[in-house]
Amino acid sequence: MSNKRTYPEGVPCWVDTEQPDVDDADAAASAVRAAGGSVTLEPVDAGPGGRLAACVDPRGARFRLWQPRRRLGAQLANAAGSWNFSDLHTGDAAAATGFYAPLFGLGVRRYRIRDDDPAARLR
């Protein structure tokens, strides 16, 4: 995590701001709205590196969209010292997976960490 963040009780949040790659930031921002989320920063060029947008899911978790050009993002994952996973803390895992899985074309595997703590893995 790059720096400590605090959120109001009950507001879902990513442990570190999630920024998935998309092929088209404008189309993805439209899909966020169609899925019930909102776009707080319309897609904008971020220099030659790419194009970005800032969004909020229907329950209030903030995330960004990244359309890479020169700056491709994580090129290595699940290896020592590299990006491993992004973690969304939410009180409603079913609603979160219902929003993110179809938005980004991800599969869902549901499980429980404890009896009272449902979780889901999106891939």
* Residue 81 within any structural domain of the chain: no
* Residue 3 within any structural domain of the chain: no
Please give the pLDDT value at position 91.
79
Please give the pLDDT value at position 30.
98
* Residue 5 within any structural domain of the chain: no
* Residue 80 within any structural domain of the chain: no
Please give the pLDDT value at position 97.
86
Please give the pLDDT value at position 11.
61
Q: How far is CA 65 from the centre of its chain?
A: 8
The CATH number of whichever domain residue 19 belongs to comes to 3.10.180
* Residue 79 within any structural domain of the chain: no
In whole angstroms, give the CA distance from residue 119 to residue 40.
27
Which structural domain, as residue segments, surrounds residue 61?
13-68+89-122
Please give the pLDDT value at position 42.
97
The total of structural domains in the chain comes to 1
Let me know the angle formed at the C-alpha of 100 by 10 and 122, rounded to the nearest 5 degrees. Answer: 100
The 8-class DSSP code of residue 21 comes to B
Mean pLDDT per 10-residue interval, the chain, length 123 residues: 56 62 94 97 92 92 88 66 70 86 83 66 68
